[in-house]
A = this chain, B = another copy of it.
Amino acid sequence: MHELTDASVGFTFGGRPAIAKLRPGDRLYTQTKDCFGGAVASIDDLPSQVCQFPYLNPVTGPFHIIGAQPGDTLAVHLVSLHPSVPYGWSSTFPHFGALTSTAQTATLQPPLEERVWRYAIDLHAQTVRYSARTSDVKIDLPLEPMLGTVGVAPAAGEVRMSIVPDRYGGNLDTPLLRAGSTLYLGVNEPGAMLSLGDGHARQGDGEVSGVAVEVAMDVVLAVDLIPGVYTPTPRLETDAALMSIGLGRPLEDAFRVAQHDLVEQIAAVTGLDLLDALQLVAQAGETRVGNVVDANYSMVARIAKRYLDGACSYAGVHAGLRSSRPVL
């Protein structure tokens, strides 16, 4: 288990030295803090008061992957995700979210009320309990742990806040980044410099209020390398599907990037030409909205492997990570 200390977390992708090294094939047992860094501990702890910009969304890492070179692809397989504590927090945050004006979509209107919600997590029942703040309504929702933020050092020497998603990964905020998924990221710096954080006990499509059910997370992951193959935008693979993640603004640009990359993936693994691959995506593709709140929006384009005769983009890397020795 990687013990989590203050030195283990940071607030950027890029610009920080490695806290540990991993070999391709290694499993990592680690923890992530919640996006508030643990500062929200009651419904009276308003994030805008207890948190201090830019110290939001702490990520554990970076981990140096031995042998990773620019131009390679890093595969990160999420073996398991378990909330570290039996409760999670959500909130509104002033001028943040999809249904409020923001610093980018700037209006003269005052912010919505800042409010905090506490979710009880029942690991036995596998539920998170929503409790309304202004009434007695309580609703049990499925516990569906995910990581909001996984990424590597950006290209071109850039350093980005951990709250930003872009081609190097980062704050992707998609519920599809969960146990059983393999995330592929293009390597831009020697060692790749993997960081992760922002666990969510669950999240709706779009993270509409700007904040999911935020929780510290026990994480087990395994890593591998695909040398000499660069992945231009993040991709996901599960036993059942291939996916491409588009990041950008406006939302149709994030959509286009995701679909474009999925068409290219399909063309590459099936031998279809681009128009035939486009036609297949148009009829068989699915799309999941990630977030519509961050510095870049995220969309996930997905195609079931059963339509591809089982083909996959990285020659069995996911299957290899998937079937590796179970955690003792």
Residues of A bordering B, CB below 8 Å? 11-12, 14-15, 53-54, 90, 92, 98-101, 103-113, 115, 117, 119, 128, 130, 132-135, 137, 139, 141, 155-161, 202-213, 246, 248-253, 255-257, 259-261, 263, 270-276, 278-289, 292, 297, 299, 307
Contact = CB atoms under 8 A, between A and B. Distances in A.
Nearest to A154: B159
Given A100-B107, A137-B272, A263-B108, A279 B205 contact: no
Contacts of A272: 132, 134-135, 137
Nearest to A267: B108
B108 A282 contact: no
Contacts of A278: 92, 99, 108, 208-209
Contacts of A99: 106-108, 256, 259-260, 263, 278
A100 to B, nearest CB: 5
Given A15-B159, A139-B284, A248 B104 contact: yes
Nearest to A106: B260
Contacts of A280: 130, 132, 139
Contact of A132 (B213, B276, B283): B276
A265 to B, nearest CB: 13
A158 B161 contact: yes
Interface hub of A106, A158, A210 (most chain B Cβ within 10 A): A106
A98 B256 contact: yes
Contacts of A135: 271-273, 276
Contacts of A283: 90, 119, 128, 130, 141, 202-204, 212-213
- How many identical chains are in the complex? 4
Contacts of A115: 275, 279
A200 to B, nearest CB: 9
A106 B278 CA distance: 13
Contacts of A261: 106
A287 B253 contact: no
B251 A252 contact: yes
A106 B255 CA distance: 9
A54 B282 contact: no
B161 A159 contact: no
Contact of A108 (B119, B161, B260): B260
Contact of A204 (B12, B134, B206, B281): B281
Contacts of A101: 101, 107, 109
Contacts of A98: 252, 255-256, 259
Contacts of A160: 158
Given A98-B256, A155-B54, A205 B287 contact: yes
A172 to B, nearest CB: 16
22 contacts: A15-B15, A92-B278, A98-B255, A98-B259, A99-B278, A101-B107, A105-B253, A105-B256, A106-B257, A108-B275, A109-B112, A133-B275, A133-B276, A135-B272, A139-B280, A139-B307, A208-B282, A209-B278, A250-B251, A251-B251, A251-B252, A255-B289
Given A209-B278, A287-B289, 4 more contacts: A108-B112, A158-B161, A202-B283, A205-B286
